[in-house]
Amino acid sequence: MKDDRNIAENYLIHTYNRYPIVFDYGKGVYLYDDTGKRYLDFASGIGVFALGYGQQEYNQALKAQIDKIIHTSNYFYSAPLANAAKKLVKISNMKRVFFCNSGAEAIEGAIKIARKYGHVKKQLKESEIISLEHSFHGRSTGALALTGNITYQEDFFPLMQGVKFAKLNDIGSVKEKITDKTCAIILEPIQGEGGIYPAKREFLVELRKLCDERDILLIFDEIQCGMGRSGSMYVFQEYGILPDVLTTAKALGCGIPVGAFLVNERAEDILEAGDHGTTYGGNPLACVAVDKVLDLFEKLQITEHVKKLTPYLESRLNELVQNKETVIERRGKGFMQGLELQIPAKGVINKAIENGLIVLLAGTNVIRFLPPLIIEKHHIDEMFEILFEILE
């Protein structure tokens, strides 16, 4: 209702420019607003709803857990916590996990590991972290300090000190920034908000080597690109390398707010009792979501499905590049794709949404596609038809 919009506008802090749409419910890969209008969702709540809306097994698991217990605090154990931890560690090839409530919080945990690694392993009083230009790591002040986008930062200075920015896919620029104080390098294996820029295999392999040589932690932020979106559970798994710290969130709970950071041997024992904590993190409801999501990924063979359908999605997006003058190029991997336009993408995205297709902005002139991982060919065709018409 228009009322809901007015009330929300009167009472919320205006941190978002929302579309004038009130969503009522979702089914599969479609959303329905309060007038009954249907939208094909190629954004999935910013890469969150990987399994689509109204997944019955997922919904049932959450409902059952609500009736059992929702929260216990981290003074105690629960079965969902144990199950979710075991499964997430296994599918990510990491050693241990800490559950939190969002992506930014996962980044904060990774920062603390990096700082403590510098302090106790490298005897540094003050350490430096290298991040990348055009990166996005979240809105809390630590994560913001790592985010390579001055417009997000400038109103909030001074941010956390000791951060340097290097260039993606330019190992020389990383080497230039390394000093004896460097404790960690953090990057998204596919940059999301910044404009869909995938890291090259050679770059990641060289970074791994460099970090080993210089005793630096390698942190992969797979909050957006992870959880099957690339066609593998995590992007790095395609390159035969492991990070020392991994952050994950967005699709991890498929709508229940949950994030996590995971560690490998080198970072396994850095955080000790008393070093870090959160009241909600790993609560039984969130962990049932994680547990069920990971079950369903396996059962529905999500990564195989993404791999199988990626060539089709890419070929249809390539058609737009070939046929439409405003579209410069396609970038991305799996179901994380971007179309770079010659013009700001905002107007095109507004039009797409008016025409019943939800897509996202990345950077200023990139249309970003993060569809649910269960889309079929005909959904891709439907997306194509709408965009083809709009881009006339």
Ligand X SMILES: *Cc1c(COP(=O)(O)O)cnc(C)c1O
Where on the chain is the footprint of ligand X (CB under 6 A)? 102-104, 107, 136-138, 188, 192-193, 221, 223-224, 249-250
Nearer to ligand X by Cβ, of 207 and 223: the residue is: 223
Cβ 136 to ligand X shortest distance, Å: 5
For the bound state, the minimum distance from the C-beta of residue 168 to ligand X, rounded and expressed in Å, comes to 13
Q: How far is the CB of 279 from ligand X (least distance, A)?
A: 17
297 is known to lie in a ligand binding site: no
In 10 A of CB 1, how many CB atoms? 10
Tell the smallest beta-carbon distance from residue 273 to ligand X (Å): 26
| Contact (Cβ atoms closer than 8 angstroms) between residue 297 and residue 228 | yes
Shorter beta-carbon distance to ligand X: residue 141 or 318: 141
Q: Do the annotations mark residue 222 as ligand-binding?
A: yes
Q: Please, which residue, 149 or 355, has the CB nearer to ligand X? A: 149
- Residue 174, token pair as written in the block: 């990383």
Report the nearest approach of ligand X to the CB of residue 106 (Å): 7
Q: Is 139 annotated as a binding residue?
A: yes
326 annotated as ligand-binding: no
Residue 176 Cα distances to 130, 150, 162, 173, 221, angstroms = 11, 21, 15, 5, 22
Question: What is the Cα–Cα distance from 103 to 259, expressed in whole angstroms?
Answer: 5
**278 in a labelled binding site:** yes
Annotation-wise, does 310 bind a ligand? no
In this structure, what token pair is assigned to residue 226?
């992870």
CB of 97 to ligand X, least distance (A): 16
Provide the token pair at 49.
């709803």
Please tell me what DSSP assigns to residue 274. Answer: T
Considering the complex, state which of residue 218 and residue 386 has its C-beta at the smaller distance from ligand X: 218
- 189: closest CA among 276, 248, 112? 248
User: Among all residues, whose Cβ is closest to ligand X?
Assistant: 103
| DSSP string for residues in 316-364 | HHHHHHHH-TTEEEEEEETTEEEEEESS-SHHHHHHHHHTTEE-EEETT
Considering beta carbons, is residue 138 or 284 the nearer one to ligand X?
138
Nearer to ligand X, 30 or 369 (CB): 369
Structure tokens at 305: 């499905």
Residue 280 φ/ψ region, left for φ over 0, alpha for ψ in the -120 to 50 degree band, beta for the rest: alpha
* Binding-site residue ranges for pyridoxal 5'-phosphate: 103-104, 136, 221-224, 279
Annotated binding site: 103-104, 136, 139, 221-224, 278-279
